[in-house]
Structure 1
Amino acid sequence: MTKPSPTFRPMQETDLEQINAVEQLSAEHPWRTAHFSDSLTSGYTCELAVLGNQVVGHCVMMMAAGEASILILTVDKPFQRRGIGRQLLQHMVKKAAQSDCKTILLEVRRSNIKAFNLYLDEGFSEIGIRKNYYPTSKGWEDAIVMAMELETFLD
């Protein structure tokens, strides 16, 4: 089976309804529309993965002082396990490197083994743990903090 190749474009306010629908179906603890709206207003790098006219993934990244932080990366549930998350991650890493960021950081739920392995496979390393960082239906879950050094990325 060939993996779909999404196109990427900046998120706009007019996309928020579609993004909210993806979040509600695909995330255990989804971001609210206000989070995305605030990210746009703050000038964060907010990108969409699109197949045809359908938004199938989104990512928000904050960049400051030579460092990038991926705040959220979500792929629509019916499109997961097709390489779209990997392509969206690679797109965001390139954007961070092109903006002269030296490091890119992210957090991942300890229970999200698929995402953790994807990040490892793409060159991220585990650098720490944030205890009781994510809410769950039964309490709290640790976040694994991961980083990638970007100096070698564009070589």
Structure 2
Amino acid sequence: MPTLQTRFVDRPMTEADIPAVMAMEREACLHPVHAWSDDNYRSSMRAGYWVRVRCEADSGRVVAVCVAMDGVDEVHLLNIAVARELHGQGVARSILAVLYDRCRQRQAPLLWLEVRPSNEPARALYRREGFVEVGVRKNYYPAAQGREDALVMKREVDMLNGASHALE
């Protein structure tokens, strides 16, 4: 049985990936309003954010995306999405491990994110990964019925320990 590291190839996202990323994310999100727009991805790439895709090694099909922004002594996870059929198989967790390596490379001991209170699977993953809730951003996300708050979470990243992962 192939491992996550041999099943997938990680690489920087390109403009050519946007249609596949958009299709994957629309399928993965419970409500289309939750997905990022193509302009969100384009502006993130133009701004020089860390924008990566994970693809199936054999077919090249995009199965995940991750966007993070470097800050001073911190990294901010802006978006992570995994193809619906791969939910619960450790893909998001392995991408987070790559992001922790990114934090170490940048000497950024804090990783921040926002998550919808209604996204219990993501919240559970983040809690298992050591993230703690530190605040609320009111009316942060668009939602089917208006706006939804965001829970602000952070995780301290051990600067000394960690394995090297893909997505560089």
Contact persistence 1:4–1:82 (CA under 8 A): no
Distance, in Å, in 2 between the alignment partners of 1:22 and 1:60 is 15
Is 1:39 the counterpart of 2:44? The answer is: yes
1:14 aligns with 2:16: yes
Q: In structure 1, what is the Cα distance between the partners aligned to 2:146 and 2:156?
A: 33
Tell me which residue corresponds to 2:160.
154
**Distance between the aligned counterparts of 2:51 and 2:111, measured in 1?**
15
Q: Is contact 2:116-2:151 (8 Å) kept?
A: yes
Q: How many residues align?
A: 154
| TM-aligned CA deviation for residue 153 of structure 1 | 4.0
Q: Which of residues 20, 24, 27 in structure 1 aligns to 2:26?
A: 24
**What's the CA shift string for 1:107-129, capped at 9, x where partnerless?**
01001111111111111111111
Q: TM-score, normalised by structure 2?
A: 0.84
**Identity, % of aligned positions:** 34
| Unmatched 5+ stretches in structure 1 | none
Pairwise CA RMSD:
1.7
TM-score (normalised: structure 1): 0.90
Report the equivalent of 2:78: 71
Whichever residue aligns with residue 150 of structure 2, its letter is A
Q: Could you say which residue in structure 2 is the equivalent of 1:103?
A: 110
Preserved contact between residue 3 and residue 82 of structure 1 (Cα < 8 Å): no
Displacement of 1:63 after TM fit?
A: 0.3
Question: 2 CA distance for matches of 1:153 and 1:146?
Answer: 19
Match of 2:89 among 78, 82, 86: 82
Alignment of 1:58 onto 2:65: yes
- Mark the runs of 5 or more structure 2 residues left unpaired by the alignment: 162-168
Which residue pairs with 2:54 in the alignment? 49
